[in-house]
Amino acid sequence: MRTFRCRRFRDQEGQAFVLSFLFLTVLLGMSAAVLDVGAWYRAQRHLQATVDAAALAGAQALPDDPSQASSLASQYVDKNGGAATRSVSFKSGLTASDSVKVTATRTAPGFFSKVFGIESVNVRATATARADTIEEARWVAPIAVDEKHPMLQCKPLPCFNEDTTLDLKKTGPGAFRLVNLDGSRGGIGPTTLADWIERGFDGWMPLDWYYSDPGAKFNSSQVRDALDDRLGDELLFPVYRATRGGGANFEYLVVGWVGFVVTSYDIQGSKSKLFGYFTRVIWEGIQNESGGATDFGARAVSLVE
């Protein structure tokens, strides 16, 4: 009887060893799979971030120069880890070639998976970015530009990078092309106007009618100091098509946005002027979805599905 018990215990010990070995093998295999799958997932997310940024970079040249857009997107991928394969293509939404699609693949090596004969896997990512005119803009400066300005009459786009002048002359009773960007009616203090020139209006400004700020407040030291600080910088100005009313009720119909670089100014009351040039800008804004915004070269870019 004692001999039987010893033999039974030895058999059970052998079975336990086999089961433990099998369990350990399965556990190691599962751990290896988790580690490798996690590494592959991180590789795919890194590639996705690269492709997203590449599409946004390429979209900045659209819709005017698809060739440059393709070059910008490809350069970004190359500078951020490269890709085993990549393709750049273009789509048309509201305008021709306003969207760029970037697709790329990379090889992600396996480590523990090699035990199962898996040397590597291919990870893939795709992103599409669109460039379009702006329906609502942020960080706008409060100086209105007449749509009839000669430099805004060039077709198909404004005459960029050519020296020109913006008159701040009276456009109506008490109106000197200063706009209440926040939609309010009446006077805005020169400190607020200066802040809107210095930093831009911290709010969303849709296409609409806006009240003029009465008075030639660009004569103030605050506005002059703000202009001094922004010399040589790109500013975003609202472009108006029509006016109505008078006095505190004088309004501008804003139909679009234009980039402008102020190089100097001449402040002399109602004869004040800004000197500089119009420029193409990529700006923070909500893209035009209805076709209502007029194209003056200011665009927003965003990722789309």
Instruction: Give per-residue pLDDT as tens, 191-229.
Output: 999 999 999 999 999 999 999 998 888 889 999 999 999
Residue 22 has pLDDT above 70, yes or no: no
**Lowest mean pLDDT, pick from 30-39, 119-128, 143-152, 268-277:** 30-39
Q: Model pTM?
A: 0.83
Strands (E) in the chain, as ranges, are 85-91, 99-109, 120-137, 145-146, 164-167, 175-179, 205-206, 209-214, 234-244, 251-266, 273-279, 281-282, 285-287, 298-304
Which comes out higher in pLDDT, residue 27 or 201? Answer: 201
pLDDT of 82-126, one tens digit each? 888 999 999 998 888 999 999 999 988 877 666 666 777 899 999
